[in-house]
Amino acid sequence: MTAKFLDIAQSYVGLKEFAGKASNPTINEWFNEFGYPYLKDDTPWCSLFANKVVTEAGYVGTGSLAARSWLKWGKPLSKPVPGCIVVFKRGNSSWQGHVAFFVSETKTHIKVCGGNQSNAVTLASYPKSSLLGYRQPAQLSLSRTARSVAGSGVASVGASLIDTTQQVQAQVAGIPLDYAKYALIAISVLLVFMTIYFKFSDIKEKG
Per-residue pLDDT of the chain (207 residues; tens, 9 = 90+): 799 999 999 999 999 999 888 999 999 999 999 999 999 998 999 999 999 999 999 999 999 999 999 999 999 999 999 999 999 999 888 899 999 999 999 999 999 999 999 999 999 999 999 999 999 999 876 545 445 544 454 434 443 443 444 343 434 444 454 555 566 677 766 766 666 655 555 544 445
Are residues 121 and 36 part of one domain? yes
For the chain, counts of helices (H) and of strands (E): 6, 6
Are residues 119 and 85 part of one domain? yes
Structural domain boundaries, residue 72: 3-141
Are residues 102 and 40 part of one domain? yes
What is the phi-psi region of residue 204: left when phi exceeds 0, alpha when psi lies from -120 to 50, beta otherwise? alpha
Task: Give alpha helix (H) positions in the chain.
Answer: 3-11, 25-33, 46-56, 144-150, 154-173, 177-204
Within-domain flag for 37: yes
Q: What CATH number is attached to the domain comprising 110?
A: 3.90.1720.10
Are residues 136 and 168 part of one domain? no
pLDDT reported for residue 165: 40
Query: 3-class DSSP state for residue 102?
Result: strand
pLDDT reported for residue 58: 95
pTM: 0.71
Domains held by the chain: number? 2
Are residues 43 and 136 part of one domain? yes
Q: Which residues contact 179 (CB under 8 A, 6 or more apart)?
A: 170
Within-domain flag for 206: no
Compute CA 36 distance to the chain's CA centroid, rounded to the nearest angstrom: 12
Nearest CA-CA partner of 100 in 118, 87, 119? 87
CA distances from 165 to 6, 105, 125, 144, 184 (A): 36, 46, 47, 20, 10
Are residues 184 and 99 part of one domain? no
183-187 contact pairs (CB < 8 A, 24+): 184/159, 187/158, 187/159, 187/162
Compute CA 103 distance to the chain's CA centroid, rounded to the nearest angstrom: 19
Are residues 166 and 132 part of one domain? no
Within-domain flag for 108: yes
Q: Which residues contact 72 (CB under 8 A, 6 or more apart)?
A: 62
Residue 113, phi then psi, degrees to nearest 5:
-110, 120
Length of the chain: 207
**Cβ atoms 147, 105 nearer than 8 A:** no
Are residues 96 and 168 part of one domain? no
**Domain end among 102, 118, 141:** 141
pLDDT reported for residue 155: 38
